[in-house]
Structure 1
Amino acid sequence: MRLNDLDERIVHALAEDARRSYADIGALVGLSAPAVKRRVDRLRAEGAITGFTVRVDPAALGWETEGFIEIYARGNTSPETIQRGLERYPEIASASTVTGEADAIVQVFASDMRHFERVLERIAGEPFVERTKSVLVLSPLLRRFSSGSPA
């Protein structure tokens, strides 16, 4: 499904703040609140909007350390096998297959350096993992949670 410009602007407004009122969004995009609600309902029904959530600063939950782990898988490991192996780690914020030498990259939040090291060791010990390479985040420079064009 491809969104038109108006739907993209509505989605972007919701991605910035999912608690924004339909009237507020309508004022931004030039529609009435009921018209915005109808469009949002349609976008949900069509699967373009998959849900609404809250974003929490990981540090507020005690997750002060962030890092990325590149996973180099054994043989012809499928993405599904990697996903199943990583699903049980609450420290993993995201995981994706990637191009390049690594097979996947994982974003990890941990309480401290030792906790990150334990997670890294556990992931490295998974049967599908040949080796790992990790980097720690010093300062996050830019985080975008919205989608669609900013117009």
Structure 2
Amino acid sequence: MRSRAPRVPYALRVDAIDERIMELLRADGRAAYGRLGEQVGLSASAVNRRVDRLVADGTIQGFSIRSGRPPGATQIQAYVEIFCSGSCSTTTLRETLEAIPEIRRAGTVSGDADAIALVVAPTIAQLESAIERIREAPDVDRTVSSIVLTDLFDR
């Protein structure tokens, strides 16, 4: 009976070509595999197989889009620091914040605040309403908001 070598997860075998493919996909998630193949020296089907393996083993965890603002559209963004009273359950806080559609992103943080959220709304009134809903959460003691004046870049 032949002994089999232990299977090494593909994520541990990512090579320079895989890294380059992922770099190109970060720049353009809709890039055609043929075009990617030209840039890395592989056929489209070889790129497809590599991307499929990277997805299957979790190295690539998903594809997403970011929508830009249409010309003339305004969106007000604020980073809101969230300070909880007592011990605040991460699960409860996540459920509360997920229920507020203006919150684009949130996470727990180190430092004085317990969490921070990126809140985006078309008007100051709607931004203020979203921040009020955060403040009304059971374990939230207070918030500190900083409105974004200029987007420098977004990766």
Asked if TM exceeds 0.5, the reply is yes
Q: Which string of whole-angstrom CA distances, capped at 9 and with x for unpartnered residues, describes residues 75-105 of structure 1? A: 1112222111111111111101111100111
Secondary structure of 2:49 counterpart: helix
The equivalent residue for 1:81 is: 92
3-state SS in 2 of match to 1:90 = coil
Q: How much does 1:113 deviate?
A: 0.9
Match status 1:69 vs 2:80 = yes
Which residue, out of 97, 107, 111, partners 2:122? 111
Task: String of CA shifts for 1:6-45, please: whole Å, max 9, x gaps.
Answer: 2222112112211101111112222221111111000111
Which digits, 9 at most, give the CA deviation of each residue in 1:100-126, with x for residues without a partner? 100111001101111111111110111
Residue in structure 1 matched with residue 134 of structure 2 by the alignment = 123
- By how many angstroms is 1:50 displaced? 2.4
Secondary structure of 1:35 counterpart: helix
Q: Does 1:21 align with 2:32?
A: yes
The reply on whether 1:47 has 2:58 as its aligned counterpart is yes
Q: Which moved further from structure 2: 86-95 or 44-53? A: 44-53
Matches of 1:138 and 1:83, distance apart in 2: 27
Confirm or deny: 8 A CA contact 1:72 1:103 kept in the other structure.
yes
Aligned residues: 143
Q: What runs of 5+ residues in structure 2 fail to find an aligned partner?
A: 1-10
Letter in 2 for 1:131: R
Confirm or deny: 8 A CA contact 1:63 1:109 kept in the other structure.
no
**TM-score w.r.t. length of structure 1:** 0.86
Instruction: Decide whether the 8 Å contact of 1:72 with 1:130 is kept in 2.
Output: yes
- State the structure with more CA Rg: 2
> Which residue pairs with 2:22 in the alignment?
11
Q: Distance in 1 between matches of 2:53 and 2:95?
A: 32
CA distance in 1 between counterparts of 2:85 and 2:109 reads 15
Percentage identity across paired residues of the two chains: 43
